[in-house]
Amino acid sequence: MNQLMRYVPAVIVVALLVAFGLTLVETGGQKTLRAHFPRTVSLYEGSDVRVLGVPVGKVTEVRPNGSDVLVTMEYDDEVQVPADAKAVIVAPSVVGDRYVQLAPAYTGGAELADDTVLGLDRTSAPLELDDIYGSLDQLVVALGPDGANKEGALNDLLKQTAANFGGQGERFHQTVTDLSKLTTTLDNNKDQVFGSAAKLEKFIRTLAQNDKTVRDFGTSLAQASKMLAGERNDLAAALENLSLALADVSGFVKKNKESIKTNITGLKRVAGVLVKRRGELEETLRTAPLALTNLLHTYNPDTGTLDTNANLTMLADQLVSEPSMVLCTLVNQLNRGGELCDLIDSILPRAGAFGAGSGTSVGQRTDPTLGGLVKVRE
């Protein structure tokens, strides 16, 4: 038993070492990624695999695969790569090794699974220098003597362009400078420019929504233009006559400007007097019709005299039968508000004591407005 107890510490130490080793193995694992590229110039086994330019793995195999190249890569399993990532071969210089860039960077969501295979639709390779030279060669051949310049058209274009642009360097320079200022101004006022464009778009959309109204307006305008075109001779004659009349009026005003000025001054004075005396004028206009009517009635055409009837007997009868009405009629000439008449009514009785129920209009209060025909000033 004692001998077994001796080996217990050693067993515990070994177990701890094994656990620590397993931890290292688990945290230092690798994920495998395969990708098909159209070509892999200057990409070899051992080339870097990077994310945002930081090396995270290595290329383990580059193998032709029919019409493309299959590249096998391994990267640290601690590195997070999005499930929709793409593989791009990056050439840091024209000559030199290249590396594979996994993009975009991981920002969340599903991760790229281990042993994923990326097709040609998720990979790309840089354009080679030979391809650029080949494209330039094709362009030169197309523009050469067997191509566009077969009949000398390109030479003629260059010569004519040189002749037209000769000696215009300063103007070209000014044009480029002005264009630069224009673009700077547009950039500084891009909010206003886009705002104006948005308002213009709303205006155009409104016109489109009211297309029938706009068309009707255009039709009416066309009809009006047609009518004016048909009457253009009469319109021209009318304008000519108006021009002559305005010339005569202008001459008349020039010749009589002093008299016109005097008349306008006098008219201004008369208007001022009328404004100041508008109360008396209103009263005159209000009472003149009745006075003229009474004057007409007093004229006796047989004798050519003005005859009047005082009707003192009727006045005496009214004073006896309806004293308040007679007094109200008299005081209404001085007090239009009716306060004195109300005071008289409170002192003197109406027709109740002097002939009430006689069936006549005697005893009723007078109406100075004549049924609303005359406006009474309060």
b or e along 322-353 (b: 16 or more beta carbons within 10 Å of the residue's beta carbon)? bbbbbbbeeebeeeeebeebeebbeebebbee
What is the C-alpha to C-alpha distance for residues 266 and 263, in angstroms, rounded to an integer? 5
Beta strand 54-65 with 48-51: parallel, antiparallel or unpaired? Answer: antiparallel
Least confident of 67-71, 311-315, 322-326: 311-315
Angle at 77 between CA 74 and CA 79, to 5 degrees: 100
62: confidence class by pLDDT, cuts 50, 70, 90: very high
What is the C-alpha to C-alpha distance for residues 151 and 167, in angstroms, rounded to an integer? 28
Residue boundaries of the structural domains of the chain: 25-128, 309-378
22: confidence class by pLDDT, cuts 50, 70, 90: low
Residue 81: count other Cβ atoms within 10 Å of its Cβ.
Answer: 22
For the cut 50, the answer to whether the pLDDT of residue 117 exceeds it is yes
Beta strand 86-90 with 123-124: parallel, antiparallel or unpaired? Answer: parallel
Least confident of 98-102, 124-128, 166-170: 166-170
Q: Is the peptide bond before 104 cis (omega within 30 degrees of 0)?
A: yes
Over residues 225-251, the mean pLDDT reads 86
Strand order in the sheet with 68-76: 116-118, 30-37, 68-76, 54-65, 48-51, 99-103, 86-90, 123-124
Over residues 95-110, the mean pLDDT reads 88
Q: Is the dihedral of CA 258, 260, 261, 265 positive or negative?
A: positive
Whole-number Cα distances in Å, 267 to 35, 159, 262, 274: 104, 83, 9, 10
pLDDT tens digits along 206-234: 888 888 888 888 888 888 888 888 888 88
Q: Are 73 and 55 a contacting pair, CB within 8 Å?
A: no
pLDDT tens digits along 260-307: 888 888 888 888 888 888 888 888 888 888 877 877 777 777 777 777
Give me the pLDDT at residue 85, please.
93
Give me the pLDDT at residue 352, please.
44
pTM: 0.36
Closest by CA position to 81, among listed 36, 54, 113: 113
Higher pLDDT, 325 or 239: 239
Higher pLDDT, 113 or 128: 113
Give the chain's mean pLDDT. 78
For the cut 50, the answer to whether the pLDDT of residue 351 exceeds it is no
Give me the pLDDT at residue 364, please.
46
Phi, psi of 260 (to 5 degrees): -65, -40
Give me the pLDDT at residue 106, please.
92
**Any residues with CB less than 8 A from the CB of 224 and at least 6 apart, and which?**
none
